[in-house]
Structure 1
């Protein structure tokens, strides 16, 4: 199960990452986040080499605001610090797999 951390990475640090990264925004008590876990967790498990930064989001949380997050969970797929894809409230695995494929494909 994804555990969303109250620790907020700095946007500049995220922008400076290299390779694929998934930012997962949500909260540990969010019903939508818990429901989405059944499709998100297996997809992420198939890519153990892709770092996942699970960030607790909410009012006054700067990282989520900088990405324009409005609904949970929101998965932002980054490659070399640049957003390549985004999935909001996934109900099936397909969109999550597509986002992972977009950031793990060879250039």
Structure 2
């Protein structure tokens, strides 16, 4: 599981072409809501280490977040073969996150 939101992100075409299970996590390192979501995310991620995880720093003018219409942080987008399967906004419960992982990690 990635620990830091990175300012560089893949472009949308690259994400759309990804095979398998992927988690896109949009947020910012200074965001209180993002920090609060890290413990339940880590708990839910356990056992799903094969899921690709991109922790994407988001904000105005960030193309990938805009392409997914991200409005609030953190936003977790669960992809299977580049297609969105589930989305959670400001999740605080590991069970909710685990249920989304179950939809993409088969």
| Contiguous gaps of at least 5 residues in structure 1 | none
Q: Deviations over 1:45-99 (max 9, x none)?
A: 3211111011000000000000010000010000000000001101111111111
- Output aligned runs, 1:72-91, within 5 Å: 72-91=73-92
Task: Output the CA distance in 2 between the equivalents of 1:6 and 1:86.
Answer: 21
Give the TM-score normalised by structure 1.
0.94
Give unmatched runs, 5+ long, in structure 2. none
- The whole-number CA distance in structure 2 between the counterparts of 1:46 and 1:74 is 21
Corresponding pairs, count: 105
Question: TM-score normalised to the size of structure 2?
Answer: 0.95
Structure 1 segment 39-78 matched on structure 2, within 5 A: 39-78=40-79
Q: Using the alignment, how far apart are the partners of 1:58 and 1:77 within structure 2?
A: 20
**Residue 19 of structure 2: aligned partner:** 18
- List structure 1 segments (4+ residues) > 4 angstroms apart after TM superposition: none
Secondary structure of 1:53's counterpart equals strand
Provide the rounded CA distance (Å) in 2 between the counterparts of 1:80 and 1:16: 7
Q: RMSD across aligned C-alpha pairs, in angstroms?
A: 1.0
